[in-house]
Each structure stands twice: as C-alpha cells, then as structure tokens.
Chain A
Amino acid sequence: MASERKTDDVTGVETTGHEWDGIRELDNPLPRWWLWTWYACIAFAVGYWVLMPAWPGVHGYTKGLLHQSDRAAVGHELKALDVQRGAGAAQLRTASLEQIEKDPKLQAYAQQVGQSVFGDNCATCHGIGGTGGKGYPNLRDDVWLWGGKLEDIQYTITHGVRTGAPGARMSQMPAFGRDELLKPEQIDDLTEYVVHLSNRPADAGAIARAKPIFDTQCVACHGLEGKGDQALGAPNLTDSEWLYGSDRAAIRGQIFAGNGGVMPTWGGRLSPETIKAISVYVHANAGGQ
C-alpha cells in the first residue's frame, strides 16, 4: 500500500493513495443525495438522544424528553392483557364444566390456561407432564383415588386432600406397624396377601393366614376384593398402579406406616375459573372419566 495520491490516467480521477495488488482506489466524490441521507441520519441520532433515554450517568441515565420507559410499557401491556383475557375468564366462570369441554374453542382456551397454571402450581408435585411420582398420584393414567369425573377433579383441586380444611378430602390408612396394631409377622403375611390381590405369585400359607386379618382390618376401606373405594379415597389394590411402589418392600412399608400425602386446598388461592381450567386440562389429558 502506497500512500501517495496520484491522478488515475484512465478516468482522470485522483486516487486515495490506497493500492492493492496494483489496483488503485479512486477517490470519486460521493453523490450529494447520499451525503444528505447521511446528514439526516446524524440529525436523527441527535434527536434520538434528546427524546429517548440514552446517556448513562453517575445517577442513572438521561430520561429523554419523551420519558419513554420499557418497564412502564410492559406494565401497560400486562394491563391490556388482563382486559383482553377478561372475556375468556368470564366465559369460563359462567359455563359449566361439561359446556366447556363440549365447546372446542372454549376447551382449547381452558386447556391453555389450565396448562400454564398447572405448570405454576401443580407441576411441583405432579410433574410438568402430570405423571406424578412416588407418593404423588399420576394424573395421566386411568386410576383415580377420588374419582376421575370432571366434578370429582374440580372438587379435589378446590378442597385439597388432608389439609384439615373443611370439606377437604380425607382418608387415613392406619400405621399398622408403627402403631403396633399388628405384629411384624402379620404384616409380612398381609404383604403377601396384597401381592396376591394384584395377581402376582405369592406364598399360599401367608395368604391363608392373612385372609382373616384383611377381612377384619382392611375391607372397610379397600373392600372384600381389595378393589378400593373412590368415595373413601381408598386405592384399588388389584390393579397395576401403586402410589408408593409395587414391590414387597414398598407394600410392607405402606402397611407399616400408612402414609398419605397432602394436596393443598386451592379454593381461595386460585379463582374458580382457573380451577375449572385446570380441571378441564387434567381431565382431557388423562382421557378422564
């Protein structure tokens, strides 16, 4: 690169003095409109500094004459969103659960509201997909402790389980071992019996010994055949779904300690229409009853 300015012979234009591989850069003047566009941009930038928040300073930034604030803008947008959602919320409030589920538009809306609220409040225990975990019921299968109809689900969400609040679902499995209601070997026998209820091979002697215990201690809630009772929140012992695990150790542990989880009372914390939306969401995703 040479820096000497020369006049190009062919065009008669002065060069900038820059040269690459023998190619010299001509110093052609800029078109006037181009320059004016540039000036306009500069003027715009200056105007922008004055009107909009621009310069950082020691005590914050310059506010600009327009007092534009993204934070305030977001606030306005959120308010507008509330207004916009008002219509949908009102519809959810007045429609019955069946109506919501029959109307495709309203159902889609309820599902969307339900999904996001579920994620915020329910997913902590039941998981984002609603599959639950040990001690936390799976909401996606066809097994329901307290009933899988829309109203059942709505009731459970509204009142909760074992919260002590009035109307809350309440079931109590005795802690047969911890409270020494049964002897350890009786608990062992009972475990075999429960395993046998769900059609798995179990010790015949133990089954025979446990039968009278089951018939006196357990049938009240789980029924003669161990099929459970949704009115009492008593689980079906003959299916393949186990809240606290399906192996012998887990079953024995449950007979020993009689665990029962707590589900919050959501009524009062979430609006009725929100609870409706969650109910519809849970019901639809479980292919509910």
Chain B
Amino acid sequence: MPTLIDNTKPKSEANSEHGRAAVSAAARAKGKGAPTGDGLYKPREPIYPKLVHGTWRRVKWALLIATLSIYYVTPWIRWRRPEGFPQQAALVDFADGRFYFFDIQLWPQDVHIITGLMIAGALALFLVTALFGRLWCGYTCPQTVWTDLFIVVERLFEGDRNARMRLDAAPLSFDKLWRKAGKHLTWLGIAFGTGGAWIFYFHDAPTLIRTFWIGQAPATAYVSCALLTVTTYVFAGWMREQVCTYMCPWPRIQGAMLDQHSLQVTYLRDRGEPRGAHKKGQDWAGRGDCIDCHQCVVVCPMGIDIRDGSQLECINCGLCVDACDEIMSKMARPTGLIAYDTDAAVAARACGDKAVYKPVRSRTIYYTLALTAVGGLTLAALISRPKADLHVIRDRNPIFVRMHDGAVRDGYTLKITNRTFFDRRFEIAFDGVTGARLSQPGEAGAVSVTVPADQVASVRVFVTAPPDAGLAPSTPARFIARAGDVQADAKTVFLSGAANPQ
C-alpha cells in the first residue's frame, strides 16, 4: 500500500469495487468483462466524485456561478422600448413572432441571422475542440454545470465521497432517510427553478411569475416548466455521466476535430510510468512519478481513469489535474503529471525529443477562416438590416388586363414590413414605365399606405400604362415604398402581352 494513504479509499475496497473505472480496471486485470453475469442490461454504476481543490476547480466554480447567473438573471433585465412593446431585454415572443435581445429585434424572416449565429457557434466549438479538446463539455455545458451544482447539494446532505458511499451501503435509517429526502427535494427545487427560469424567456417575466402561481399562465408555460424540471432532475441528478456517454452525440462528433496536437487532459505517461507505491525517503530514480494513489480516479465525475489514455468519456474538466497536482506537491515532485497536454508532446518526450505545441495547424486555420467568414457575414447581415421591407407579389391570373382604351393594367399585391417602433405612412412609387398611373381598388390617385409600428401591411396596387407607352411584353420595373428616411424597394416586371392588340 502507498504510504500516503488516502483516507478516501476504504481499505476493504482497495483497488476496486467502487467507481466504474475501478471496476473496469479490475475487470481488465482479471480478464473478466465478458457477457457474463451482466446479462442483457447493465445497471448504472454509481460514481462518487470526491471534492478536490485547485486551479481548475476554482475556474469551474467561477464559471458555474457565471453561467448560472446569466441563465437565471437575464430574463429579469428590463429594457426601454417605445410604449406597447415588451420592456424585457431578452424575450422570445412566439405569439407575435418577434425575438428581442437588448437593442436587437429579429423577425421570423431574419432566421438567416440566427442560422448564421448557430453556425458560427458550431464553428467556434469546432475550433475550441481542435485547440483544447472537450473544453466546452468540462466547463460550460449545461449538463456539466447542473450536475456540478447537484453534486454540491449532494455533498451538503450526504458528505463527501466516503460518507456518501457509507450512507449508500448502510441500511435504511432515519438519518439516511432525511439526508436522501433532503437531497432529492433540493434537487427538485433547483430543477423546478431551472424550468421556471426557462419560461421567463418567452413571456414578460414579472407578469408570468404572477399568473404562473394563480394558474392563469398559458398551458405551454406549465408544460415547458414541467418538462425542464423533470429533465433537469433526471439528467443532472440520476443520469449524469450517462447523458454525456450515451445520449450526447457531441463526443462522437468531436473525434473528427481532435488530433494529436489538441490540448487535452493527459496523463504524462512518459513521466509517470512505471507507476507504483512510494515510501517516504525512497529514491525516485528508475521509476515514474505516479504513486498509484487513485486520487485522479476518485475525483473524476465521469468515473474513468485518465491514466488509460484519452477516452470518449473524458470531458476535459481538469479535476484530475488538480487532484494529482495536490499529490505531487505533497510528494515534493513537480506538478503537472496530469496536465493539459497533447498526445504529440507525450510521444515526442517519450522518444527523448523536445515537445512543441502547435496551435496553428491546417484545421485550426480552416476553422478560424470559416468562423471569421460566417461571423462576419452574420454581423454584416445584422448591421445592414433595413428598417422596412417591401415584397411584391404580381398577379399571375390574369398577368395583365387590357382596358377599353387600349391601356394595359397590371395588378400587384405589396407587402410592406415596418420594422420600426412607430407607425409610418409609406408613399408608393413605380419606376420603369413612362406615364404609368398607380391606383388602388376603388380609389384613384397616389397610393400610400399606413403600416402600424412593427407590423406588415398588404396593399393592392394597380399600375396602368397608357396605350401609347410602347411597352415590350415584359418591362423591368421597381416599386419604391418611402416613409421619410425609411425606404424599401423591390424589383418586379410590368407585363403587357403583345405590343398591339388590334
């Protein structure tokens, strides 16, 4: 046994029986595994991650607080908009088909901007993965963040690793009952808070929080809240690493973005092996730095042994780094036996070469270029968004009408979108046919239409070309809708059939 015994590892269980990694390690050792007693299905093997302190844990605390704060606080930020518009900074208004985010207001037709944003997000994720491995998973993925939060609660009620394992093994008692009940109730409370916070993004938060309790909120609010509550409770409380391993497609996909130069949590086997227990005062020559203390295993929320090499399950959370650093410091050895490092570096050092970190590689260059392009385009699209849109739907049946005096009349339906927060009166002009007159059904003269703030109005317009206009069968033309400084135009054609009917 190692001299530096960790009191977290019960002697009786030395070497195994707890934690999946330990089990599979044991299985491997025994050559077990096989179809065997497991039968068709496999129950989840509980993982009891031990609390660890260190740099990465501190980063994770900070990010935990930051991300959760953003999630819970955002819907409550107020934002000044003109009378009659939502005063909520971030709001997805499905009923009216609008999306508000501070000074940005998106319409359903701006879906390309949202698409661009999502593609840029994906590309950013590709880039981060190519550079730093599964960093998203370990620090900012909601699954990880809420699981982390749930483990804090678990620790609060049931204690750290050893206490939890003892409690689980113990027969049912009052003590066990209240601890378990307390944990689950708190979990449910948090889960409910999560679902509750979610729905505030879709409705005026102060109103919804009132109507929600008196049973007058929309049914979707209750259903969404219930769904989020259940999934949060089940995913973060019960399934945890199983979500990452079995349900999430991302670990499968990221394999395509990683290469031997990606920074990942890595056990430096070139330095650690051969591993083995170390007695105080013993010489370090001729052996590796790893004292086989299993600290990296017991802190791992995914239940794996990072010393087996990089694995699909590893979420790059760095907790094993902190755990091992602590051991190394106690052993008065340099830290970083487990560290963010690259496979290439490990291999190079193993051959006695100098390891170089290569962040600039063809794939990172491609990802950066693609990200810049998509991000730039999206930003350009967002900035250059017009304040008004004009869409022209030309009558197709009939495509034109000849009047009694030989004039030709085409019918159009114009849809004018007023994206501003104020009602505007648009004057309609037609450009392309000399002498053409505009009229609306039942009214002669100039055509203008008032479009209410933030609405689309549709107007039918007849364009009549005089008999002597000398038109081609199809003449390119343009509609212009102008309201003060706001202007929109749209191309169309004026059709007149044959040059002369008679």
CB distance from B470 to the nearest CB of A (A): 17
6 A-B contact pairs sorted by A residue (CB < 8 Å):
A7-B34, A12-B24, A12-B34, A34-B41, A35-B41, A128-B397
Asked whether A32 lies within 8 Å of B442 as measured between CB atoms, the reply is no
Interface of A, secondary structure class, is loop
With A and B bound together, what is the CA distance between A128 and B395 in angstroms?
Answer: 12
Asked whether B404 lies within 8 Å of A140 as measured between CB atoms, the reply is no
Residue in A101, A200, A286 whose CB lies within 8 Å of B502: A200
Say yes or no: is B246 at the interface (Cβ < 8 Å to chain A): yes
Asked whether A31 lies within 8 Å of B439 as measured between CB atoms, the reply is no
A164 to chain B: which residues have CB within 8 Å? none
Residue in A12, A28, A240, A288 whose CB lies within 8 Å of B404: A240
Asked whether A33 lies within 8 Å of B44 as measured between CB atoms, the reply is yes
Say yes or no: is A203 at the interface (Cβ < 8 Å to chain B): no
Asked whether A140 lies within 8 Å of B398 as measured between CB atoms, the reply is yes
Q: Which of B40, B44, B246, B404 has the most chain A CB atoms closer than 10 A to its own CB?
A: B404
CB distance from B311 to the nearest CB of A (A): 11
- Asked whether A283 and B442 contact (CB < 8 A) given A35-B41, A200-B502, the answer is yes
Q: Besides A30-B42, A141-B401, 14 other CB < 8 A contacts?
A: A7-B34, A11-B28, A12-B28, A12-B32, A30-B40, A30-B41, A31-B41, A128-B397, A129-B397, A142-B403, A142-B404, A236-B404, A240-B405, A240-B502
Say yes or no: is B402 at the interface (Cβ < 8 Å to chain A): yes
Asked whether A240 lies within 8 Å of B398 as measured between CB atoms, the reply is no
- Asked whether A11 and B33 contact (CB < 8 A) given A101-B442, A131-B397, the answer is yes
Say yes or no: is A241 at the interface (Cβ < 8 Å to chain B): yes
Say yes or no: is A65 at the interface (Cβ < 8 Å to chain B): no
CB distance from A139 to the nearest CB of B (A): 10
CB distance from B442 to the nearest CB of A (A): 6
Asked whether A288 lies within 8 Å of B441 as measured between CB atoms, the reply is yes
Chain B residues in the interface with A (C-beta under 8 A): 24, 27-28, 30-35, 38-44, 239, 242, 246, 395-398, 401-406, 409, 411, 439-442, 460, 462, 501-502
Which residues, 129 to 163 on A, are CB-close (under 8 Å) to B? 129-131, 138, 140-143
Asked whether B40 lies within 8 Å of A34 as measured between CB atoms, the reply is no
Asked whether A284 lies within 8 Å of B33 as measured between CB atoms, the reply is no
Asked whether B31 lies within 8 Å of A7 as measured between CB atoms, the reply is yes
CB distance from A142 to the nearest CB of B (A): 5
Q: Chain B residue with minimal CB distance to A130?
A: B398
Interface footprint category on A: 35 or more
With A and B bound together, what is the CA distance between A283 and B28 in angstroms?
Answer: 86
With A and B bound together, what is the CA distance between A129 and B501 in angstroms?
Answer: 20
A229 to chain B: which residues have CB within 8 Å? none
Say yes or no: is A96 at the interface (Cβ < 8 Å to chain B): no
With A and B bound together, what is the CA distance between A240 and B498 in angstroms?
Answer: 14
Residue in B28, B395, B460 whose CB lies within 8 Å of A129: B395
Q: Chain B residue with minimal CB distance to A240?
A: B406
- Asked whether A29 and B42 contact (CB < 8 A) given A12-B28, A200-B502, the answer is yes
With A and B bound together, what is the CA distance between A106 and B322 in angstroms?
Answer: 71
With A and B bound together, what is the CA distance between A147 and B404 in angstroms?
Answer: 14
Asked whether B398 lies within 8 Å of A129 as measured between CB atoms, the reply is yes
Asked whether B439 lies within 8 Å of A287 as measured between CB atoms, the reply is yes
With A and B bound together, what is the CA distance between A141 and B460 in angstroms?
Answer: 15
B39 to chain A: which residues have CB within 8 Å? 29
Which residues, 238 to 289 on A, are CB-close (under 8 Å) to B? 239-241, 246, 283-288
Which residues, 95 to 139 on A, are CB-close (under 8 Å) to B? 101, 127-131, 138
